[in-house]
Amino acid sequence: MNKSSGIMHQASPEGGRTREGLNNKRDLLIIGGGAGGLVIASVAAQLGLNVTLIEKEEKLGGDCLHYGCVPSKTLIQAAKVASLMRRGEEFGLPAVNPEVDLAKVNAHVRSVIEHIQAHDDPQRFRNYGCEVLFGKAEFIDAHTIKINEQTISSKRFVIATGSRAFVPPIDGLAAAGYLTNTDIFSLQQLPERLVVLGGGPIGLEMAQAFHRLGSQVSVVERLPHLLPQEDPEVSDALQQKLAAEGITFYMGISAERVVKEDVCRKVYCSDGISIECEQILVAVGRRPNTENLGLDRAGVSVTPKGITIDRRMRTSQKHIYAVGDVCGPFPFTHMAEYQAGIIISNAIFRFPKKTDYRVVPWVTYTDPELARVGLTEQQAKQQGIEPTVLRFDFSDIDRALAEVETTGFSKLVTHKGKILGASVLGPHAGELIHEIVLAMQTGIKLSEISATIHAYPTLAQIHRRTVNTLYGPKLFSARTRKVVKWINRLLP
């Protein structure tokens, strides 16, 4: 498990418990070695429970480490460096047009994965006393699973099998060939032209990264706005920035048919649009990995959206829990880790604890980044709240000017002095959002943010400046001016 999970690892007995030393019936059996499963396995084993962890792939770490968060952010950073090299003149330096070798870039991506993989070494978990097995697990009944011709029973189970890319049934797509997040980081040659199907976070992040590395990129999105879960004002501003960089967008358009001719693929879309490319990236959403687990035999309820759970992370079988993408509702690694903590409380300490999703941050790692927490302006109004919306541009933040990163703004959705939600589009928005997350989690008032000293010059000043747009008009109002004059006449 990555150090970033925040789990404290205690020293274990030398070599850990052997498989022979484990009881026939486990205290806890976890299916899936991604973020959520690893957190639970680590804690349970170090607390002395008989734990078995099963992973179907050859390595622990899950989709986030091998095909998601880690490789994508590494590629994005490499692409940003290439972009900064071309922008040298904006900083008084010579502009350089880098020669991009995608094989070398992806070799760098793999090196970062391998470095982090050391934290997820199976032996590390075995030293904690956790049995680690590799293979496909499926339930025989509600208390027994089968793996590699071996049957194992357990008092409690956790299903942490994650999700995978959803591939839409587009005519000719399978025959023509396509990429998903599982193979885009192993490409050895940069495609001259890339079509991205889907205007969600993964699609936009990879579209910008490949464009900056040198591909001609087109994004096809069937909805009228990118990132439909975001505030349209914010997502539209991001689209304008990406379009200004040179990415082509086809909005309200659906891919209907794909034809391959030699190395060229042709994507035929609605409205008579056709786009030629060398590669197609499918990024239209995710699907939970619930197949071939024998969930019906275990009596675990499941829908197309994933395994059904209650607020204590229990499935329809109360001794079987689920965590992460396989049950939702948010497909984020930090959410899997949060849910793992809920399961640890309920299944290990037997202390009842429920999930609370009122303050969940998420980030789209484009440049500028788009970070979000809580309600949008539209969602607040749908709930019958007439919010006070506060806004401030990065172009008026001195640190952003110094770094030539002035695109974007902060938007706070407030009501009666409290923050209901926020969207930050700008440099390092994913880091900046956490001041607002903490304010919402602890119920801090807007006035307290205004009164908090923010170091100068920092990007974080945007929070205080945004909040002060509420107080500025009141401070310099005609009424306040009269009060100030009265006070100064009255007092010596």
Res 4 pLDDT > 70: no
Amino acid making up residue 316: S
* Residues 308, 302: Cα–Cα separation, whole Å: 5
Res 287 pLDDT > 90: yes
Share of the chain above pLDDT 90, in %: 90
Please state whether beta strands 302-303 and 193-197 pair in parallel, antiparallel, or not at all (unpaired): unpaired
Question: Does the global pTM surpass 0.75?
Answer: yes
Q: What is the CATH number of domain 173-285?
A: 3.50.50.60
pLDDT band at 104 (very low <50, low <70, confident <90, very high): very high
- CA distances (Å), origin 317, targets 54, 302, 310, 445: 20, 11, 11, 42
- CA distances (Å), origin 221, targets 209, 218, 453: 18, 10, 43
User: Is the link from the previous residue into 427 a cis peptide, with omega within 30 of 0?
Assistant: no
The pLDDT of residue 238: 98
**Domain covering 362-474 assigned CATH 3.30.390.30 in the classification:** yes
* Residues 42, 54: Cα–Cα separation, whole Å: 13
Rounded mean pLDDT of 446-452? 96
Residues 197-238: tens digit of each pLDDT? 999 999 999 999 999 999 999 999 999 999 999 999 999 999
* Residues 274, 55: Cα–Cα separation, whole Å: 42
Between 19-23, 90-94, 262-266, 474-478, the lowest mean confidence (pLDDT) is in: 19-23
* Residues 246, 248: Cα–Cα separation, whole Å: 6
The three-state DSSP-derived secondary structure of the chain is CCHHHCCCCCCCCCCCCCHHHCCCEEEEEEECCCHHHHHHHHHHHHCCCCEEEEECCCCCCHHHHHHCHHHHHHHHHHHHHHHHHHCHHHHCCCCCCCCCCHHHHHHHHHHHHHHHHHHHCHHHHHHCCEEEEECCEEEEECCEEEECCEEEEEEEEEECCCEEECCCCCECHHHHCCECCCCHHHCCCCCCEEEEECCCHHHHHHHHHHHHHCCEEEEEECCCCCCCCCCHHHHHHHHHHHHHHCCEEEECCCEEEEEEECCEEEEEEHHHCEEEECEEEECCCEEECCCCCCHHHHCCCEECCEECCCCCCECCCCCEEECHHHCCCCCCHHHHHHHHHHHHHHHHCCCCCCCCCCCCCEEECCCCEEEEEECCHHHHHHCCCCCEEEEEEHHHCHHHHHCCCCCCEEEEEEECCEEEEEEEEECCHHHHHHHHHHHHHHCCCHHHHHHCCCCCCCCCHHHHHHHHHHHHHHHCCHHHHHHHHHHHHHCC
- CA distances (Å), origin 267, targets 172, 202, 223, 283, 337: 9, 20, 18, 15, 39
Between 118-127, 394-403, 479-488, the lowest mean confidence (pLDDT) is in: 479-488
Token pair recorded at residue 155: 């008092």
Residues 40-78: tens digit of each pLDDT? 999 999 999 999 999 999 999 999 999 999 999 999 999
Residues 345-358: tens digit of each pLDDT? 999 999 999 999 99
Res 170 pLDDT > 60: yes
* Residues 16, 380: Cα–Cα separation, whole Å: 52
Token pair recorded at residue 38: 């690893």
Please state whether beta strands 255-261 and 264-269 pair in parallel, antiparallel, or not at all (unpaired): antiparallel
Residues 11-46: tens digit of each pLDDT? 443 334 444 444 479 999 999 999 999 999 999 999
The pLDDT of residue 479: 86
- 3-60+121-165+287-348 against 362-474: fold identical: no
**Domain covering 3-60+121-165+287-348 assigned CATH 3.50.50.60 in the classification:** yes
Amino acid making up residue 483: V
Domain limits, the chain? 3-60+121-165+287-348, 173-285, 362-474
Residues 73-101: tens digit of each pLDDT? 999 999 999 999 999 999 999 999 999 99
